[in-house]
């Protein structure tokens, strides 16, 4: 498509590029670049040099993007300027509809007005524990909350929740008891919230729970009640996009409204106006997710073009939607939903499409999958192998269910009888949809988990797609050039794949790596042997109603390290903060040996390094935990799990070799651990405490810290330092604290220079 038909595309690209550079920019620098580019562009335009003037204009637009995304200093009365942590009485208005995570846990976004009767500003994210009272967007509430700064898990290659909250302007989080939430007024929810609630209630009244939850996901993106196994099946089948309200839903709303009005013999312009009004209302009801805003802006432009009898430039509409969203919310650039929505749409718009219906459907699915591939890998470490085919069945079924469901919900306010007939008609479609998704999800290898691509790999991939598209369009007019472009595209695609897969393909370098991950109050330790084989010792907390560290932290870390299979998975004991995440890890990775329960295992050779279980004879849940010793050359690490006083004495009495360079401090530094006798036997140079910030147990105990210091150990803590990364060749030991990015080298061999 000629760029002159889509002038907003380079402008949107430049604006997004400016937002991306904002973290490295300053206000004076961005202003200077804008002024110079604007003046230079005007001068070049006056000199009749349009190409150069256009380039200067794009630089100026990029500078505006950087200015829009620059962090604004917090006002003096912002809630983040309080001395945190603190317990306070907070008054404000709900900034969004409450989100129910489970029966006894609800997320609230509160625009703060007063704290302890003092005027304050800012937004706080609260987690309410217990059954929450009826609450609505815009409702004024008063809560007694425990406020603090958000803290995420800080590890290489994993998601940081605190960073994501900061991108959305949330600097303070808090916890409240749901039964202590007081609303001084009983204001009704706004009309859009009432419409959404009425729609969900109608579905629940007419359909079985799972079908109602599925239809709510299809129509409104409400997936909170969807059973975990159904949610996981949609993800594994590569069709989760039908549960995220996007252009698919907006197009169905617009086309259904248009068709109904056309059947009523309404004029074309009135049909356009009607569809326009319904689409805007639908967007307000569903909410301002990036995919909804993108689809709504594009639908409005297409309908306006029909209204004015003009031709709509789809790519230009897409660029305008991006400009509108990023101008309003520049941080959406980093949102996976924004990236997936725009990439998939651009892929469908730009890709060549065959005329045969089935081939065209496959081409649409393939174009979208190819466009979002690096985004899916970067954010989720996964690529669907079945999604292209699964979409052939799922999308039509989801479309039929969506149209019937919309008609049923719209009719429910007028005639319960007719609505019941429509809900009865949609129910078998929902069952068939679930069956098709389950069938696709059951295909072996339906989802592949791979390392996230780096910036160079992504650039190579995007360039390969662009050159391949150019080669396709030039194949008839300039065959030789098309072949060259195609060959280059293939080479770049191979280079991108090689760079992405390199962590999994690279040969072992003969070094031992031990990563003590930040999983909050729990343990998760990854051992990568000199031969490249990996062992996982514990996997943090997990299970129902809590964030699963195995799935959200350990698995992404392993994938991005290139670990796709584990030599062993060790559960030191069954406490939830050690064993909770292991089920998710075992579901996602092949495991050669499972060390759990009371099964005794011998030493495990890892190419020169040896992982050895040490004998423990103490009774009690913590004191009977499995203790491991890792040796490689002069480097040694003692992993003591949660043993306490009795377990430490039993370990010493066993006369096992305990002297080690690194001690993983027992039981998160509790008062009943790390006794003087154990420290005298171990004589550690380094002590690592795996502990959660603001934990309710007071770990690590000041007495333990004092004993470790007296023993001459250099102390690392995951609550302060994030992940602790150990790397050794058997003669020297490098220890990196991830948060401060500091590395200290320890010389283990006096004859080896450091």
Over the stretch 416-470, which tens digit does the pLDDT of each residue have? Answer: 888 889 999 999 999 999 999 999 999 998 899 999 999 999 999 999 999 999 9
| β 170-177/512-516 pair status | unpaired
Per-residue confidence at 186, pLDDT binned at 50, 70, 90?
A: low
pLDDT reading at 185 higher than 90: no
In 148-267, alpha helices (H) = 161-167, 191-206, 209-220, 228-236, 247-263
User: Which is nearest to 424 in space by CA: 199, 200, 206?
Assistant: 206
pLDDT in tens, 605-640: 999 999 999 987 777 888 889 999 999 999 999 999
Place of tokens 């790390």: 674
Per-residue confidence at 524, pLDDT binned at 50, 70, 90?
A: very high
**For all residues of the chain together, what is the average pLDDT?**
89
Place of tokens 């509809």: 97
The encoded tokens of residue 319 equal 């660029």
Percent of residues, the chain, with pLDDT higher than 70: 96
Q: What is the mean pLDDT of residues 322-329?
A: 90
pLDDT reading at 745 higher than 90: yes
pLDDT in tens, 332-352: 899 888 898 889 888 888 888
Per-residue confidence at 20, pLDDT binned at 50, 70, 90?
A: very high
**Long-range interactions of 440-445: CB distance < 8 A, separation 24+:** 440/236, 440/237, 440/238, 440/239, 440/386, 440/387, 440/389, 440/390, 440/393, 440/394, 441/232, 441/233, 441/234, 441/236, 441/237, 441/386, 443/385, 443/386, 445/385
pLDDT at position 523: 96
pLDDT in tens, 356-399: 878 888 888 888 899 999 999 999 999 988 988 898 889 889 98
Q: How far is Cα 327 from Cα 65, in angstroms, rounded to an integer?
A: 8
The encoded tokens of residue 559 equal 């994938």
Task: Say which CATH superfamily domain 79-189 falls into.
Answer: Nucleic acid-binding proteins (2.40.50.140)
Task: Say which CATH superfamily domain 512-747 falls into.
Answer: Ribonuclease Z/Hydroxyacylglutathione hydrolase-like (3.60.15.10)
Buried b (16+ CB within 10 A) or exposed e, 600-638: ebeebebebbebebbebebeeebbbbbbbbbbbbbbbbb
Per-residue confidence at 488, pLDDT binned at 50, 70, 90?
A: very high
Per-residue confidence at 59, pLDDT binned at 50, 70, 90?
A: very high
Q: How far is Cα 301 from Cα 346, in angstroms, rounded to an integer?
A: 16
Per-residue confidence at 544, pLDDT binned at 50, 70, 90?
A: low
pTM of structure:
0.89
pLDDT in tens, 638-668: 999 999 999 999 999 988 999 999 999 999 9
pLDDT in tens, 82-137: 998 899 999 999 888 888 776 678 899 999 999 998 999 999 999 998 888 888 77
Q: What is the mean pLDDT of residues 202-208?
A: 91
User: Which is nearest to 598 in space by CA: 574, 582, 575?
Assistant: 574
């Amino acid at each position: 498509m000629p760029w002159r038909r889509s002038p907003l595309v380079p402008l949107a690209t430049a604006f997004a590029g400016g937002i991306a550079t904002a973290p490295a920019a300053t206000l004076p620098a961005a202003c200077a670049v804008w002024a110079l580019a604007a003046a230079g562009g005007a001068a070049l335009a006056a000199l009749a040099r349009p190409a150069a003037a256009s380039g200067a204009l794009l630089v100026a637009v990029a500078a505006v993007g950087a200015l829009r995304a620059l962090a604004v200093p917090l006002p003096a009365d912002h809630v983040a300027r309080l001395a945190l942590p603190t317990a306070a009485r907070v008054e404000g208005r709900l900034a969004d509809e409450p989100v129910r995570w489970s029966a006894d846990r609800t997320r609230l976004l509160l625009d703060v007005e007063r704290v302890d009767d003092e005027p304050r500003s800012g937004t706080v994210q609260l987690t309410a524990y217990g059954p929450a009272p009826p609450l609505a967007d815009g409702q004024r509430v008063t809560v007694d909350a425990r406020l603090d700064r958000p803290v995420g898990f800080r590890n290489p290659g994993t998601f940081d929740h605190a960073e994501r909250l900061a991108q959305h302007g949330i600097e303070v989080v808090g916890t409240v008891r749901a039964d202590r939430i007081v609303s001084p007024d009983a204001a009704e929810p706004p009309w859009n919230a009432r419409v959404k609630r009425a729609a969900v209630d109608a579905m629940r009244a007419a359909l079985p729970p799972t079908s109602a939850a599925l239809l709510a996901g299809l129509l409104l993106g409400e997936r909170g009640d969807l059973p975990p196994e159904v949610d996981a099946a949609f993800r594994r089948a590569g069709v989760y996009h039908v549960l995220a309200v996007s252009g698919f839903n907006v197009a169905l709303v617009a086309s259904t409204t248009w068709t109904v009005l056309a059947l009523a013999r309404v004029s074309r312009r009135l049909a356009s106006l009607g569809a326009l009004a319904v689409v805007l209302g639908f967007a307000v009801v569903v909410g301002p997710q990036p995919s909804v805003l993108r689809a709504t802006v594009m639908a409005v432009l297409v309908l306006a073009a029909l209204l004015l009898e003009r031709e709509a430039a789809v790519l230009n509409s897409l660029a305008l939607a991006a400009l509108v969203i990023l101008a309003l919310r520049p941080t959406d650039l980093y949102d996976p939903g924004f990236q997936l929505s725009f990439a998939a749409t651009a892929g469908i718009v730009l890709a060549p499409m065959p005329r045969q219906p089935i081939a065209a459907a496959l081409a649409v699915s393939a174009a979208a999958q190819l466009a979002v591939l690096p985004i899916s890998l970067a954010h989720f470490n996964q690529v669907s192998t079945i999604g292209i085919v699964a979409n052939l069945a799922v999308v039509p079924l989801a479309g039929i269910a969506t149209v019937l469901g919309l008609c049923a919900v719209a009719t429910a306010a007028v005639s319960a009888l007719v609505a019941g007939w429509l809900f009865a008609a949609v129910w078998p479609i929902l069952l068939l949809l679930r069956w098709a998704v389950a069938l696709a999800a059951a295909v072996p290898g339906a989802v592949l988990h791979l390392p996230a691509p780096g910036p160079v790999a992504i650039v190579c991939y995007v360039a390969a797609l662009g050159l391949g598209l150019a080669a396709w369009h030039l194949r008839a007019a300039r065959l030789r050039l098309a072949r060259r472009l195609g060959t280059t595209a293939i080479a770049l695609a191979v280079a991108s794949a090689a760079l992405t897969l390199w962590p999994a393909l690279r040969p072992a370098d003969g070094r031992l790596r031990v990563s003590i991950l930040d999983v909050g109050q729990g343990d998760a330790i990854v051992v990568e042997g000199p031969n490249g084989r990996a062992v996982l010792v514990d996997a943090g907390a997990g299970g129902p109603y809590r964030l699963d560290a195995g799935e959200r932290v350990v698995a992404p870390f392993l994938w991005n390290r290139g670990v796709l299979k584990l030599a062993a998975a060790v559960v030191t004991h069954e406490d939830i903060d050690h064993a909770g995440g292991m089920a998710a890890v075992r579901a996602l990775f092949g495991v050669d040996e499972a060390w759990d329960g009371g099964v005794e295992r011998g030493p495990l050779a890892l190419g020169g390094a040896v992982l050895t279980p040490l004998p423990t004879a103490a009774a009690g849940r913590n004191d009977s935990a499995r203790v491991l010793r890792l040796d490689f050359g002069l480097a040694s690490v003692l992993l003591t799990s949660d043993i306490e006083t009795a377990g430490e004495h039993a370990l010493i009495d066993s006369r096992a070799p305990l002297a080690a360079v690194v001690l993983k401090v027992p039981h998160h530094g509790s008062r009943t651990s790390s006794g003087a006798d154990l420290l005298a036997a171990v004589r550690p140079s380094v002590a690592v405490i795996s502990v959660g910030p603001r934990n309710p147990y007071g770990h690590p105990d000041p007495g333990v810290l004092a004993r470790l210091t007296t023993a001459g150990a250099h102390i690392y803590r995951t609550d302060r330092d994030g992940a602790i990364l150990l790397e050794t060749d058997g003669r020297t030991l490098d220890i990196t604290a991830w948060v401060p990015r500091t590395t200290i080298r320890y010389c283990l061999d006096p004859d080896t220079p450091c």
